Amino acid sequence: MKRREWVWGWALILPALTFIFLFTHFPAVMTVINSFWSTPRGRRPARFVGLENYERLINDPTFWKVLTNNLWYALGTIPLSIGLALLMAVFVNRPFRGRALARMSFFTPTVLPLIAVANIWLFFYTPGFGLIDQILGVFGVGATNLLGQGGTALPAIMAVAIWKEAGFFMIFYLAALQAIPPQLSEAARIEGAGRWTIFRRITFPLLMPTTLFVSINAVINAFRLVDHIFILTGGGPDNASSLLLFYIYETSFRYWDTSFGATLTVVLLGLLCLLAIGQFFLFDRKVHYK
Amino acid sequence: MKSDASRQGREIRIEGIEKCWGETTALSGVDITVPAGSFTALLGPSGCGKSTLLRIVAGLEAPSSGRVRIGGEDMTQRPADKRNLSMVFQSYALFPHLSVADNITFGLRTRRVAKAARQARLERVAALLGLGPYLERKPSELSGGQQQRVALGRAVISERPVCLMDEPLSNLDAKLRHAMRTELRALQRSLGFTMLYVTHDQVEAITMADQVVLINEGRVEQAAPPHALYETPATSFAARFIGTPPMNILPATALGEIGARAEAEAGCALHFGIRPEALRPDPMGMLKMHVTGGEYHGADALVMGRIGGTEALVRVPGKTLPSGGAPMSLAVAPQDIHLFNAATGQRLDRPISAAQALASNDMAQATTVPDLNQI
Ligand SMILES: Nc1ncnc2c1ncn2[C@@H]1O[C@H](COP(=O)(O)OP(=O)(O)OP(=O)(O)O)[C@@H](O)[C@H]1O
Ligand SMILES: [Mg+2]
C-alpha cells in the first residue's frame, strides 16, 4: 500500500517534471557542458577543450567591458528605480483628485510594449529634432547625440530603463502599502509621530519584504536587458552601451560562436545566483514577514 | 506612578458636534462633558456613531461642526499628534515589526525621552501589566490578551491626561474580558487619567464607568451614572437598551381603564415601562398577564406572556415557573413604574397619580433594589 502511494505521487508530478527538465534543467546542463567544448564549424565537429573557453573569456577585453557596463548599469538603475517607485507609490496612495489618472500614467510605461517604449525614446534622443534637442535648443544649446557618444550612450539607456521599471515596481509598493492597516499610522500619529517618522519607523520597515522582492527582480532585470539596446544603440559605439546578455546574444547568434556564448551564459547564471543569495542574506535580518 | 500634577486627568467637553459624510449623518448635536479624572463610557448599538465621536476627540477625524475642548483648550483644529492624549484601538494597532518593548516605548522615542528614563518607565509599566517576560517578543507571538496589555502599556506609559479606548475588550473571551474589566478600572483609578471608553456592551459600561453616555442614531439619549440610567431612564430607548431582559414597554391601551385615566391626566399618549424584575406574582396584583411560556435559567426563570395583548416578561424565582395558558396576577411597586410620552419617547417627570393605581397598596412600601450584577 505504501509503495503504491509512492508510485502515484511520482506519476502525478511526472508531466510537470518532464517539462521542467526538458525546458529548464536540460538546457542549463547542456550550456555548462557546451562551455567545455569547442564550437562545431562546418566539417569540424566539437571537441573537448577543457577550460580553454574560460581562459579566452578572462583575456577577452570586450567581456570585461560589458561586465563593467552592466555593473554600472545595475548600480545606476536599481536604487533609482526602486526609490522612485516607492516615492510614486506613497504619492498615489493618498487620496487626491485625479488619483486614478496619476496611477495610470505612472504605470503606463510598463504596459507599453518594449519596442514601442524604445521607439518613443529614440524620438526623444534623435539628434537635432528629437524632443530633448528641441527643448535644449530653446536655451541655445546645439544638437546633441546622446545615444551616439561613448560617454552618454549608457546613461541614456539607463534613463529609459528607470522610466520603465519604476512604474512596474510602484505597483508592488502600492499593493503593499494598501495592505498596511491605516490604524498603524493613526496609532503612531496619536503617539506624536509626524509624517516622516511614520514613514521611517512604520511604513518603510513594513515594506521590507516588498523591497526585497522588488530588488531581486531589479537585479535580474538589470542583467537581462537586450531589447532596448537593440533599438536604441545596437551596443555601440564601441561596445559603450553593450551589456552582458546583449554580448551573449551577439556572440552566439551573430558570430555563431555558441560555445563561447555558453561560457558567457554560465558566468551570467553564476553571477545572478550569487547576487540573489547575497541579497537574501543581506536583507534577511531586516525583513519582517507577517 | 501618580507622580506629579500633570498626571491628573483633564476635562473633555464636546460641544455641538455634527459629523456628516455626504448624505449620511453620523452625529448630530452631540454635547457631552467628561469630568476630569472620570471614567466615561460611550454606549450604544452598532453604527450609532461611537467610534466616529471618539475619533473626532482624538483628532483622527474632523467634525462637520462643533468643538472639542480638552482641559479648557479648544482642540478642534489641533492635529492628533498635538492633542496630548493616548488611544487604544479596537484592533490594538500594534506595530508588527517592533518588539513589545519598542511598541510600548514608541511614543517616548518620538518625543525623544532619554534612553535611561525610557527604560525605567518601561520597567514600571511592564511590571504593572505583567508584561515582563514578553518584552522581546513580536506582537504576533502573543495571545490576544497579552496583545491587549501591550496596547494598554503603549497608552499608559506616556502618562497623558486623557486616554481614549475603542472597544478594547471586544476581541477577548468572556473570562479574560471579565478580568480585564477589573484591571482596566483599577488602572484608571490609580493613574488618575480621564477615560473615554467606547463599548456596545452594556455590562462593560455599567460595571466600569462613573458616567455612561447612551448614544442612539448619532444623538445622546442620556448621560448619567450607571444606577441612574437603570433607575430613571430618560427615554424609552434607554429603558429598553439597559437591562437584560429589557424593560417591558406597555402602551396605556393595554392597561384598560387605569391606562385611559393616566393618559387623560398626562394629556398625551403614554407608554408604561416596568422591568421584568420589578413585577412579582401576587394574587392581589392589579396587572393580569396571560402566560404563554417560560424559560428556566437556574437561579431564576423568565415567564413570557401578554398583558392586554402586549408581549411582556416577568422574572420569577426559579422554582415558581407557572404553566403556560394560565392567567397570572402581578404586582408592582409605584416607584418601579416608568412613564414615557408615546410620541417622543421622553420620560414623564411629573407624577401621574392615576398611574399609581397599578401598584397595589401593600406594595407601596416595598422597594425593588436593582441588583446591578444581574443587569
Ligand atoms: N468614512 C465613512 N464614510 C461614510 N460613512 C461612515 C464612515 N465612517 C462611519 N460611517 C457611518 O457613520 C455611522 C457611525 O459609524 P461608527 O463607526 O461611528 O459606528 P459605531 O457606533 O462605532 O459602531 P460599532 O459599534 O459597530 O463600531 C455608521 O452609520 C457608518 O456607516
Ligand atoms: Mg466602532
Cα angle for residues B171, B172, B176 (degrees, 5° grid): 165
Say if residue A238 is exposed, middle or buried (CB neighbours under 10 Å; 0-12, 13-18, 19+). Answer: exposed
Q: Which of B78, B95, B102 should be substituted to probe chain A, the one whose Cβ sees the most A Cβ atoms within 10 Å?
A: B95
Low-confidence ranges of chain B (pLDDT < 50): 1-6, 361-375
Position A283 scores a pLDDT of 76
Cβ separation of A186 and B91 shorter than 8 Å? no
Cβ separation of A190 and B85 shorter than 8 Å? yes
| Percent helix / strand / coil, chain A, rounded to 5 | 75, 0, 25
CB proximity list for B290: less than 8 A, separation 6 or greater: B305, B306, B307, B325, B327, B328
| C-alpha span between B33 and B15 (Å, rounded) | 8
Q: Indicate whether residue B32 lines ligand 1 (CB < 6 A).
A: no
Q: Which residues in chain A have Cβ-Cβ distances shorter than 8 Å to B96?
A: 206, 288, 290
Nearest protein CA to atom 31 of ligand 1, as residue: B47
* Residue appearing with cell numbers 449623518: B25
Q: Which residues in chain A have Cβ-Cβ distances shorter than 8 Å to B158?
A: 191
The string of pLDDT tens digits covering residues A34-75 is: 888 888 887 788 788 888 888 888 888 888 989 999 999 999
Which atom of ligand 1 is least distant from the CA of B218?
A: 14
Residue B40, C-alpha cell as written in the block: 466615561
> Which of A190, A205, A288 minimises the CB distance to B58?
A190
Q: Which ligand is nearest to the CA of B218?
A: 1
Q: Does A195 touch chain B (CB under 8 A)?
A: no
Q: Indicate whether residue B23 lines ligand 1 (CB < 6 A).
A: no
Nearest protein CA to atom 3 of ligand 1, as residue: B21
Position B369 scores a pLDDT of 45
Cα angle for residues B42, B43, B46 (degrees, 5° grid): 120
CB atoms within 10 A of CB A29: 11
| Parallel/antiparallel/unpaired status of strands B287-296 and B300-307 | antiparallel
Q: Tell me how far the alpha carbon of residue B164 lies from the centroid of ligand 2, in angstroms.
A: 13
Q: Tell me how far the alpha carbon of residue B56 lies from the centroid of ligand 1, in angstroms.
A: 12
Element (H, E) at A242: none
Nearest CA in chain A to B106: A191
CB proximity list for B86: less than 8 A, separation 6 or greater: A190, A191, B107, B154, B155, B156, B158, B160, B162, B163, B164
> Which of B60, B110, B138 minimises the CB distance to A191?
B110
| C-alpha span between B15 and B13 (Å, rounded) | 6
Low-confidence ranges of chain A (pLDDT < 70): 1-2, 285-286, 288-290
User: Assign residue A168 a region: left if phi > 0, alpha if psi is -120 to 50, beta otherwise?
Assistant: alpha
User: Which fold is adopted by the domain A65-113+155-284?
Assistant: MetI-like fold (1.10.3720)
Q: Tell me how far the alpha carbon of residue A75 lies from the centroid of ligand 2, in angstroms.
A: 49
CB proximity list for B58: less than 8 A, separation 6 or greater: A190, B80, B83, B85, B87, B164
List A residues 175-194 in contact with B (Cβ-Cβ < 8 A): 181, 183-184, 186-194
The string of pLDDT tens digits covering residues B11-55 is: 999 999 999 998 999 999 999 999 999 999 999 999 999 999 999
Q: Indicate whether residue B288 lines ligand 1 (CB < 6 A).
A: no
Q: Tell me how far the alpha carbon of residue B199 lies from the centroid of ligand 1, in angstroms.
A: 14
> Which of B60, B154, B158 minimises the CB distance to A186?
B60
Q: Tell me how far the alpha carbon of residue B148 lies from the centroid of ligand 1, in angstroms.
A: 23
> Which of A184, A192, A206 minimises the CB distance to B93?
A184
| C-alpha span between B250 and B311 (Å, rounded) | 8
The string of pLDDT tens digits covering residues A210-252 is: 998 899 889 888 888 887 888 888 777 878 888 888 888 888 8
- Nearest C-alpha of chain A: how many angstroms from B97? 6
Provide the whole-model pTM: 0.80
Residue A217, C-alpha cell as written in the block: 527582480
Q: Which of A180, A184, A190, A203 should be substituted to probe chain B, the one whose Cβ sees the most B Cβ atoms within 10 Å?
A: A190
| C-alpha span between A102 and A97 (Å, rounded) | 9
> Which of B58, B80, B97 minimises the CB distance to A206?
B97
Position B5 scores a pLDDT of 41
Position B27 scores a pLDDT of 94
**Cβ distance B184 to B128 under 8 Å?**
no
Cβ separation of A191 and B158 shorter than 8 Å? yes
Cβ separation of B106 and A201 shorter than 8 Å? yes
Q: Which ligand is nearest to the CA of B43?
A: 1
Position A205 scores a pLDDT of 93
Say if residue A216 is exposed, middle or buried (CB neighbours under 10 Å; 0-12, 13-18, 19+). Answer: middle
Cβ separation of B93 and A193 shorter than 8 Å? no
Nearest protein CA to atom 5 of ligand 1, as residue: B21
Can you list the domains of chain B with their CATH numbers? 4-240 (3.40.50.300), 245-374 (2.40.50.140)
- Give me the total of CB pairs closer than 8 Å, taking one residue from chain A and one from chain B: 62
